[in-house]
A and B are shown apart, each in its own frame.
Chain A
Amino acid sequence: MKDHFRQSMAWLHTWLGLLFGWVLYFMFITGTAGYLDTEIDRWMRPELPAARYPLPQDAAIGQAQRYLQTHAADARRWSITLPIDRNEPWMRVSWQAARGMPPAASGNAYLDPVSGQRLETRDTAGGQTLYQMHWRLHYLPDAVSLWIVSIATLVLLIALVTGIVVHKKILADFFTFRPGKGQRSWLDAHNVASVVSLPFQLMITYSGLVFVMFSFMPLIATAWYGPGQAGQDAFLDEVFPPLVSAKATGRPATLVSLQQVHHDAQSRLGAKPIGALEITNPNDAHARVQVVGSFAAGPLRATDILAYDGVSGEWLSARRPWQSGPKAFRDSMLGLHEGMFAGAVLRALYVLSGLLGAAMIATGLVLWTVKRRQRVERGRGTPHLGLRGVERLNVAVVIGLPVAIGAYFWANRLLPVGMAHRAEWEVHALFAVWLLMFVLAAVRPPARAWREQTLLAAIVFASLPVLNAMTTSQHSAHSLVAGDLVMAGFDLVALGVGAMFFGIAWAARRRQRQPAPC
């Protein structure tokens, strides 16, 4: 009885893993890269100065207001983001044009907080795009990618649970890793990677599902709120009640000094940091200002929001972080998933766990092929198209994707700065190189392909600091001296990643020369 259960769970685990492994690997790699989005942003925009935070906010707000008033006086909405931690290292303003205006009328800009001048940077997709690929994939309409990602996440949850169920000797096998034994070693590696980071994997998967639960399970809302879009909207309105509802009157009025609003907010919030100001209908009689605290103060991804009348500066209402149990549960899940609250050490742990998740998937995929390849070698079967296809897909995805991301960074440095649609072309470069990796994997025998692509990855990453030095003035030594740790850090990490791939390539070559022990 128990045996049948375990067998069927093993079958489920294997096939779900195989079908969705590549998508999930992509999500883990882009998720981990996206976790370091502002650091990557910084490297991809070398024109920006080193970030300094937290920033003295008073003067900065004054400059921001002046800039927005000059450049976007008739916008529908303004937003000023203040640097308080690594999540938003530079002051950024954005403006949303009035309805009916072309999209080009909206925009955003990094501002120098002292001079109020716009900081000019190259048009780049930055770390933000890598981050967004984590759930939007790319080249696909949003609805489609949402479904793929949602289903993949659910599959991951099922795979994790079935994996635990199937791992018979999970306690006895703890800490076990026996290298050099072929299939046994790959199984050990798969087990170790998964078990060692299990709390994180379960958390990240479940919280990922919470992120998409409104679209994934709309029928539940329908049960309470009625069918159709109206029901969904009513539900969302109750979960996220608008703090201030104000339609523009069309009557012009002077916007209150934001510094004054800021002072009042500070007196109400005490020591809690202020992260942003959102202004609706600026220069209108019904202007409203919302002062937003920090979303990264703790695992709960919610914060104080204070609403003010935009003309008189009078305080109107407030929303506190805690609304209700279930909402707080959702906010905690989102907060844990995004990990924005984490300090330096915990961030490193998040990155480590993310990479282990990717390793968990990669070792699983390789294990599948090794097992079947061994069966073929023992004469118990023929290498059918499926096995050959998977062997090649594995290389192209597991190693090819990092190569493509490396190429993305190369493109950032090599594409001419004034080029049209530069940001889009950086991303095209990523996928073009990835496609090339697929082609290479298809035409080369898998063993060679592993070595070649790993070497390629090693070269692409290890030479990034050199490329940086040749194309900008901020090479590693300069950054270290200037105290721009993020810039220098990126270069060093790239070097480290390159070294890691060299190590893998070397290990793969060594195993090729030795006959595998039977």
Chain B
Amino acid sequence: MLTALPLFGLSVLGMMAIALAMERHHDVLARRWRGRRARCLLRLVGWVLLGSALLYAVDRVGRVQGLILWLGMLTPSAVGVVGLIAGRHARATHRATHG
């Protein structure tokens, strides 16, 4: 459990950053934070976070188990990010159509 939470946290943040760097989802961000430079930065940060998640896992439980744990953790992280982004899209649309 002690390994899992920081691992999950890193994964989610990493995925989130990568997701927000994508063109399709970039508009979820506030206007102030958009732009090509922001996207590059987000993508870089995202991959760095995912990489450190892997290193962290390997450091805590060994190479094989760490890799397996990291791969497994990608799934709930991605699910979480999908949910959050879908939620924000829905709220943005709601705000747009209902003033």
Contact = CB atoms under 8 A, between A and B. Distances in A.
A adjacent to B, CB under 8 Å: yes
Given A177-B86, A179-B86, A192-B82, 16 more contacts: A172-B22, A173-B24, A175-B82, A176-B82, A177-B82, A177-B85, A195-B78, A196-B75, A349-B72, A349-B73, A349-B76, A352-B75, A352-B76, A353-B72, A353-B75, A356-B79
Interface of B: 1, 3-4, 15, 19, 22-25, 64-65, 68-69, 71-76, 78-79, 81-83, 85-86, 89-90
B3 A345 contact: yes
A174 B22 contact: yes
A176 B75 contact: no
Nearest to B1: A345
B19 A356 contact: no
A298 interface: yes
Contacts of A173: 24
A173 B72 CA distance: 21
A251 B33 CA distance: 86
Given A344-B1, A345-B1, A175 B85 contact: yes
Given A175-B81, A176-B24, A356 B69 contact: no
Q: What are the 5 tightest A-B residue pairs by CB atom distance, in nearest-first order?
A: A349-B72, A345-B4, A196-B78, A177-B86, A175-B19
A200 interface: yes
Contacts of B3: 345
A74 to B, nearest CB: 45
Contacts of A197: 75
A126 B68 CA distance: 30
A199 interface: yes
A489 interface: no
B24 to A, nearest CB: 6
Given A178-B89, A346-B68, A346-B69, A196 B79 contact: yes
A350 interface: yes
Contact of A298 (B4, B23, B65, B83): B65
A338 to B, nearest CB: 13
Contacts of A192: 79, 82
A182 interface: no
B78 A175 contact: yes
Nearest to A203: B71
A273 interface: no
A54 interface: no
Interface string A170-195: 00111111110000000000001001
Interface string A328-355: 0000000010000000111001101100
A200 B24 contact: no
B82 A299 contact: no
12 contacts: A172-B22, A174-B22, A175-B15, A175-B81, A176-B24, A179-B90, A195-B78, A196-B75, A196-B78, A344-B1, A345-B1, A352-B76
Nearest to A344: B1
A350 B78 CA distance: 15
Given A196-B75, A346-B68, A346-B72, A175 B4 contact: no
Interface in A348-371: 349-350, 352-353, 356
A299 B69 contact: no
Given A172-B24, A179-B90, A196 B82 contact: yes
Nearest to A172: B24
A199 B64 CA distance: 15
Of listed B3, B68, B73, residue having the most chain A CB within 10 A: B68
Contact of A199 (B22, B65, B74, B90): B74
Contacts of B4: 345
A174 B71 CA distance: 17
Of listed A175, A178, A195, A199, residue having the most chain B CB within 10 A: A175
B85 to A, nearest CB: 6
A394 B88 CA distance: 32
A175 B22 contact: yes
A23 to B, nearest CB: 24
